Amino acid sequence: MHQMYEVVIIGGSNAGMSAAMTLGRSLRNVLVIDNGRPCNRQTPHSHNFLTRDGVTPSFLSAVAKEQVLAYPSVQWVEDTVQRVEQLADYLLIYTINGVQVQAKKVLLATGVLDDLLPIPGFAECWGISVLHCPYCHGYEVRNQYLGIVGNGDMAMEFAQLIRQWSGKVHLLTNGPSALTASQWKELEAAAVPVSTSPLFAIRHKEGKMYQLVLKDGTILPFDAVFARVPFKQSPLVQQLGLATNEQGYIVVNAFQQTSLPNVFAAGDCTTPMRSISTAVAQGTMAGAALNKYLLA
């Protein structure tokens, strides 16, 4: 007989630990399983999170773990979940290190895996000078020379957004343009240059870029680049058959419940609003909802 937990939380970053705290304070028997590889591990500072603006993600994680594990009903194991099976009355969780536990409910706080562009320097600069969220990082690069990687309607919307932080922006379609004639005119009127040559390499020092090189030989001395890259969900999402939306995010209701009644989800795997405050809020909601469903 495997050990039974009321809730197993898969992923111990902001959403997962926020849910764990709520459940720990509700006297629930909880196990958090985390592999120690959050998506923001390269980011030097976290911003736009009230009372903790500018601290490192590792500091936030350390404080969260210390505070959450002070609740005696919450346990933590560093491991990777390999498989989750929905049985008649509970779920069975298997990890790559051979741990097998049962849970009445599971919370996926697995984040997403960013599919970074396969050009030299892109991965090394991700979260440092190749950025995904202007609300998290825009202030730090305000009024600097910024690149925007995108195409079509998304690129147009992104360019309009980034211009709030700098008037010196340059759109990179990374291949043939999908912009409409009216979008070209709008960008021209806003003095936003567009380059259609594919990206070739980013020159940087310890993740801080100083040049972006295009395939046609153009060298652009950007201070930073904003990019929205494709992402992959945890294999557990497909394995469990959870419903996802057109963008690829897990579909949840107002209580973070997925299409599988005993499985909940919170954080970056459910929303394009990738911020600490959003993840924490969703984790708190998930924790409260899980407690309510367990009461029922």
DSSP string, 182-207: HHHHHHHHTT--EE-SPEEEEEEETT
Q: How confident is the model at residue 150, as a pLDDT?
A: 94
- Written as one letter, the residue type at 83 is R
Tokens representing residue 181 in the block: 């004639």
Same fold, 3-114+230-295 and 122-227: yes
Q: Does 43 have pLDDT greater than 60?
A: yes
The model's confidence at residue 281, banded by pLDDT at 50, 70 and 90, is: very high
Q: How many CA atoms lie within 13 A of 160 on its CB side?
A: 8
| Residue 218: count of CB within 10 angstroms of its CB | 12
The arithmetic mean of pLDDT across residues 261-289, rounded, is: 95
Mean pLDDT of 34-39: 82
| pLDDT category of residue 137 using cuts at 50, 70 and 90 | very high
Top CATH class of 122-227 equals alpha beta
Q: What is the average pLDDT value for the chain, to the nearest integer?
A: 94
The first and second tokens of residue 277, run together, are 């405050």
Fold designation for 3-114+230-295: FAD/NAD(P)-binding domain (3.50.50)
Residue 1 in this model has a pLDDT that exceeds 60: no
Specify the higher pLDDT residue, 47 or 253. 253
**Average confidence (pLDDT) over 181-193:** 94
Whole-prediction pTM value? 0.92
Alpha carbon 290 to chain centroid, angstroms: 22
Report yes or no: 18 and 284 within 8 Å, Cβ to Cβ: yes
| Mean pLDDT (whole number) for 150-176 | 95
Q: What residue spans define the domains of the chain? A: 3-114+230-295, 122-227
| Nearest alpha carbon to residue 263 among 90, 21, 82 | 90
**DSSP track, 66-121:** HHHTTSTTEEEEE--EEEEEE-SSSEEEEETTS-EEEEEEEEE----EE---SSTT
Alpha-carbon Rg for the chain in angstroms:
21
| pLDDT reading at 36 higher than 60 | yes
- Confidence (pLDDT) at 162: 96
pLDDT in tens, 66-124: 999 999 999 999 999 999 999 988 999 999 999 999 999 999 999 999 999 999 999 99
CA distances 47 to 57, 206, 277, Å, are 10, 20, 10
